Structure 1
Amino acid sequence: MESSALTSPQFTTAATPLRFRTPPLKLHRNTVTFKSPAKYSVRTSAASGNDSAVTLFDYGAGNVQTPEDILNAKRLIFPGVGAFAAMMDVINQNGMADALRTYIEKDRPFLGICLGLQLLFESSEENGPVKGLGLIPGVVGRFDSSNGCRVPHIGWNALQTKKDSVILDDVANRHVYFVHSYRAVPSKENEEWVSSTCNYGIDFISSIRRGNVHAVQFHPEKSGDVGLSILRKFLLPNSSKTKKPFEGKATKLAKRVIACLDVRTNDNGDLVVTKGDQYDVREQTKENEVRNLGKPVELAGQYYLDGADEVSFLNITGFRDFPLGDLPMLQILKYTSENVFVPLTVGGGIRDFTDANGRHYTSLEVASEYFRSGADKISIGSDAVYAAEEYIKTGIKTGKSSLEQISRVYGNQAVVVSIDPRRQYLTSPYEIGFKSVKVTNPGPNGEEYAWYQCTVNGGREGRPIGAYELAKAVEELGAGEILLNCIDCDGQGKGFDIDLIKLISDAVSIPVIASSGAGTVGHFSEVFSQTNASAALAAGIFHRKEVPIQAVKDHLLKEGIEVRM
């Protein structure tokens, strides 16, 4: 995994009904509320002697407890997003490592998630080698991007079950959600532990099971109904037995279909979902009101039910003067995360700023508030452009930019850079010092070439940097994913800018999300078959119900393109 800010661990035993946000899943009297992959909260009350009580090892919460909290747990969940070395430092310093080993060696009910799986191995190459808990033979290594795999491994990949795993009994060959850069590889020495594998360039361990001890590399809390089923089976192992396990048809990493909600304040002060035409979100009427396409929480919930693989919020109001005053947007994230069990991304106004009282807030503090409210990834736009320009000019990574700060703490898989370029036509590829392409459709004066000029401030200001140069720079600065827009195509419904998407997706080794211009189901298959885009995003055609998400996925399946169903 990537780096994460870790403090002392906190243990909480839940003795109120156990819920995975909504719909509420009441398990006797115990309740856990899962937040984002990096954060978990537990409703607390006095511990009970109930064997189904759940102890959640929340290592980043800050309240020091004792190793006895682990040893006395009836059922222990160890979630994890962060750096292997930092996590081992925390649990070693607080005496938790030995307690964890003892708990697991006694075959007590245990579920590790993501880093919670990796720490069980002997060591990791991440900032290392670093010794792990040493319970499972093997070394955790980084994915190799030289074989064409994009790192981080982000998205919905297929599980191949290897043995009876109890919690995976009815999810064979189904897609689950992964987001990580490091993995453990199956071997003869650890084969007794491996309950499922996944392929991403190589076969890696996606879950382990021995007795009552389980751990998964993927995020069940972000894997939709499949993930909720896995959590139910761990928490209530005898509550539901599937007579005939459902065999899915997933075989590999799926292409993602993302629903984007542009959110802004309308003239009445309400947050609404809108959609622009080349970034203009006002109706072309006498009133010139903000285009209102619905309520954000309701639409996000519907898109989750419709099969969206991710939901992205772009706050185009941005609260540029006081991002942490954006209480309505924070509430939208909280309410959405209670109903939507796929990854949530939010962008808009994430930067350093000073409020009216002179108090300075870092971009990391702003992003942290969004993460605490339920976001899984944050999207940075203008601030990333400025950081890239400075980096290209000096060749120095200062570590002070928003992009660097947030990726260092939360990991590059949590940071998306949104690129907003305009096409600038050229008569010759040597006309300008930025990377250009030969365009499929000539310009207005027959120009055969173009470069893509990046913009800031919602497309209102052009900058002296190209999309190609920006993409390469932000990858080096720590971006884990690129959201690639095209102002020329926005709202036109004529298809994605294939020339642009091919240029950028061929240039970087991190995932690229194609955006702007989708109008038909055919546009999705076109971008996936002609470029290396990992995902495709749309907004207006989903909001106006012109093209349902399920219709997109049905079409992609018919075209032989793997998607999550």
Structure 2
Amino acid sequence: MHAAAREREVTLLDYGAGNVRSVRNAIKKLGWTIKDVECAADIANADKLIFPGVGAFGQAMTILEQRGYTQALKDYIQADRPFFGICLGLQLLFEGSEENGGCQGMGLIPGAVTHFDVTKGLPVPHIGWNDLLQKHPSTLLSQVGDRRVYFVHSYHATPTPQNSEWVLATSEYGGEFVAAVRRGNVYATQFHPEKSGAAGLDVLRGFLEPEATAALPAPAADGNGRPRGLAKRVIACLDVRANDSGDLVVTKGDQYDVRETGSTGEVRNLGMPVELAGRYFDEGADEVTFLNITGFRDFPLGDLPMLEVLRQASEGVFVPLTVGGGIREFTDSSGKHYSALQVAAEYFRSGADKVSIGSDAVYAVEAYLAGGGAKDGSTAIEQISRVYGAQAVVISIDPRRVYVAAPEDTPHHTVKTSKPGPKGEQYCWWQCTVKGGREGRDVDAVQLAKAVEDLGAGEILLNCIDNDGVGQGFDIELTDAVSAAVTIPVIASSGAGAPEHFSEVFHKTRAAAALAAGIFHRREVPISAVKAHLNSSGIPARTA
């Protein structure tokens, strides 16, 4: 290779777990080329090495050992050569982890990686945009300022006197945890710079081009007076469907009816998925969710247009991408069987950070409940969570209200409602549905949420068929009931029509995020207006 080209080359250790496409895209956006690690010698010969660890601790260590990378990595780092670990790439540097029943790490940094304490009342995984408390000046973090960065993890390292020489920055979530480490030319972050927007690109630039990055003093701890801590996320959702011509378009409807009224009856077209995703990234969305609501779904891995949407979107959208629709096992027309894990892996490789499971989660929970809560590892939730971590699995719940005169009239979880039923009923429960809301099942939303948490899901996307497209606010009673029943984060969805609806759901429930679609598509409410309103209401929100 020509010397000039080699100067702009970084070596990437991609061991095949999770979405590394976004890291690749971020590196390329900064004008660098990538050489992939194919053998241990590639690690030894690297000028700069990036290790984006994704997934579960035990799985990662097993793969590194099998490929003969562990000792090469340790030798490289101990020689103080330019190294940047991301997320699990930070955790693996420690002595070990509680994850997967207890695993040994590389032992380069004193301390163990432990699970967040769920008894403190905070949702786990820790998902979202949080502040950094920088302990020392560094070129890596010098351009971040007081901007938040994106975390998604259930396990964390704790700063101690024994590892203090390594700790570059910490963050707060039920206590202080290690957010970034540095010793010499070796860096690692618990947060994902490739998913942290412009701030994250500045972090990557600080590693790749330290000579061009000034080491500025750390920002003031007061965050310039804004609400600090983990921000409440504002998520833009794109319902994607094939129209009658076979093109994927972003659509939206009331109570899941996405066809225009009148003589044409065509699928409502609100824009093209990649273009809208890019617009929402520019406007400050904290995450972008693609829900593929196309009905056929008989061959998910043949859904090349949706995979291409992810690939193209991830080239310019540097916040988390979630995709839902068809994440399940299936057998193709030739009789070849594909597991849900294989299907999810293709979406991760195409640019998704998380996958959303809908109807199949309901069927899995029905079997789980019928078996007395026994788990055999066969469900899509368990398979994907085991390999990619709970944070990669979102469960999309589509419930509708069912009214009853008294709690004893149903075995399901009820609440006394402020919205009486058609016959004056004072109580209701929420029936889970499948097939895009067309079929109800004998499972309630609270039941389902508890069960999927036990099966290994890391987040819940809580829709509400009754409120969808109405614009009168989220179903507070539903969101409160579900978010109070689980320890994993809950995303409120369906019904947003004004910035005040976002602050209401955050003030009155434990929701970690709120999602909207139509009001953003039609530019009725700017994302920036929602963020400004939240911060003025004392609710932390990312604004840059």
Please classify the TM superposition score into its range, dividing by the shorter chain length. Answer: over 0.9
Alpha-carbon distance between aligned partners in 2 of 1:493 and 1:344, rounded to the nearest angstrom: 25
Alpha-carbon distance between aligned partners in 2 of 1:149 and 1:122, rounded to the nearest angstrom: 26
* Alignment match, 2:482: 504
TM-score, length-scaled by structure 1: 0.89
How large is the Cα RMSD of the aligned pairs? 2.3
Alpha-carbon distance between aligned partners in 2 of 1:240 and 1:163, rounded to the nearest angstrom: 15
The one of 366, 387, 394 equivalent to 1:389 is 366
How far apart are residue 243 of structure 1 and its match?
6.4
Alpha-carbon distance between aligned partners in 1 of 2:467 and 2:530, rounded to the nearest angstrom: 19
Count residues in correspondence: 530
**How do 1:95-114 and structure 2 match up within 5 A?**
95-114=68-87
How far apart are residue 53 of structure 1 and its match?
7.6
**Secondary structure of the equivalent of 2:483?**
helix
How far apart are residue 405 of structure 1 and its match?
1.5
- Check whether the contact 2:412–2:429 (CA below 8 A) recurs between aligned residues: yes
1:457 matched to 2:438? The reply is: no
- Check whether the contact 1:256–1:563 (CA below 8 A) recurs between aligned residues: yes
The one of 334, 343, 346 equivalent to 1:369 is 346
* Change in 2 beyond 3 A, CA 1:339/1:316: same
The one of 385, 392, 410 equivalent to 1:432 is 410
Alpha-carbon distance between aligned partners in 2 of 1:298 and 1:516, rounded to the nearest angstrom: 23
- Check whether the contact 1:55–1:75 (CA below 8 A) recurs between aligned residues: no
1:332 matched to 2:305? The reply is: no
* Alignment match, 1:8: none
* Alignment match, 1:341: 318
- Check whether the contact 1:123–1:134 (CA below 8 A) recurs between aligned residues: yes
Partner amino acid, structure 1, of 2:315:
E
**How do 1:113-128 and structure 2 match up within 5 A?**
113-128=86-101
The one of 209, 224, 236 equivalent to 2:209 is 236
Alpha-carbon distance between aligned partners in 1 of 2:525 and 2:2, rounded to the nearest angstrom: 43
* Alignment match, 1:405: 383
1:194 matched to 2:172? The reply is: no
How far apart are residue 29 of structure 1 and its match?
6.2
* Alignment match, 1:473: 451
* Alignment match, 2:20: 39
How far apart are residue 123 of structure 1 and its match?
1.7
Bigger shift: residues 237-246 or 254-263: 237-246
The one of 409, 415, 432 equivalent to 2:393 is 415
Q: Deviations over 1:165-203 (max 9, x none)?
A: 220012243211111111110011111110100111010
Partner amino acid, structure 2, of 1:39:
V
TM-score, length-scaled by structure 2: 0.93
* Change in 2 beyond 3 A, CA 1:371/1:54: closer
**How do 1:144-159 and structure 2 match up within 5 A?**
144-159=117-132
**Secondary structure of the equivalent of 1:283?**
coil
Bigger shift: residues 354-363 or 305-314: 354-363
How far apart are residue 442 of structure 1 and its match?
1.4
The one of 132, 146, 165 equivalent to 2:105 is 132
* Change in 2 beyond 3 A, CA 1:89/1:406: closer
How far apart are residue 91 of structure 1 and its match?
2.7
* Change in 2 beyond 3 A, CA 1:17/1:472: farther
1:446 matched to 2:428? The reply is: no
Partner amino acid, structure 2, of 1:323:
P
Q: Deviations over 1:234-256 (max 9, x none)?
A: 01111233768766556210000
* Alignment match, 1:210: 183
Partner amino acid, structure 2, of 1:214:
Y
**Secondary structure of the equivalent of 1:311?**
strand
Alpha-carbon distance between aligned partners in 2 of 1:213 and 1:203, rounded to the nearest angstrom: 22
- Check whether the contact 2:87–2:190 (CA below 8 A) recurs between aligned residues: yes
- Check whether the contact 2:11–2:50 (CA below 8 A) recurs between aligned residues: no
Q: Deviations over 1:405-457 (max 9, x none)?
A: 21122111101000000101111111100000011221222211101001000
Alpha-carbon distance between aligned partners in 2 of 1:31 and 1:491, rounded to the nearest angstrom: 47
Select the structure that is richer in helix.
Answer: 2
Q: Deviations over 1:345-382 (max 9, x none)?
A: 00011211122222222211211111111010010000
Alpha-carbon distance between aligned partners in 1 of 2:261 and 2:35, rounded to the nearest angstrom: 56
Alpha-carbon distance between aligned partners in 2 of 1:526 and 1:255, rounded to the nearest angstrom: 12
The one of 285, 289, 307 equivalent to 1:312 is 289
* Alignment match, 2:332: 355
* Alignment match, 2:199: 226
Alpha-carbon distance between aligned partners in 1 of 2:266 and 2:64, rounded to the nearest angstrom: 55
Partner amino acid, structure 2, of 1:82:
G
**Secondary structure of the equivalent of 2:294?**
coil
1:277 matched to 2:258? The reply is: no
| Structure 1 unaligned spans of 5+ | 1-12, 19-26, 44-51, 58-62
The one of 275, 280, 298 equivalent to 1:298 is 275
**Secondary structure of the equivalent of 1:288?**
coil
* Change in 2 beyond 3 A, CA 1:297/1:32: farther
**Aligned residues with identical type, % of pairs:** 62
- Check whether the contact 1:161–1:173 (CA below 8 A) recurs between aligned residues: no
- Check whether the contact 2:139–2:216 (CA below 8 A) recurs between aligned residues: no
* Alignment match, 1:49: none
- Check whether the contact 1:261–1:313 (CA below 8 A) recurs between aligned residues: yes
* Alignment match, 1:483: 461
- Check whether the contact 2:22–2:314 (CA below 8 A) recurs between aligned residues: no
Q: Deviations over 1:381-420 (max 9, x none)?
A: 0000000011011122121122222112211110100000
How far apart are residue 164 of structure 1 and its match?
1.6
How far apart are residue 516 of structure 1 and its match?
0.3
* Alignment match, 1:264: 241
Alpha-carbon distance between aligned partners in 2 of 1:30 and 1:406, rounded to the nearest angstrom: 30
- Check whether the contact 1:176–1:220 (CA below 8 A) recurs between aligned residues: yes
**Secondary structure of the equivalent of 1:345?**
strand
| Structure 2 unaligned spans of 5+ | 25-31
**How do 1:485-564 and structure 2 match up within 5 A?**
485-564=463-542
- Check whether the contact 1:281–1:290 (CA below 8 A) recurs between aligned residues: yes
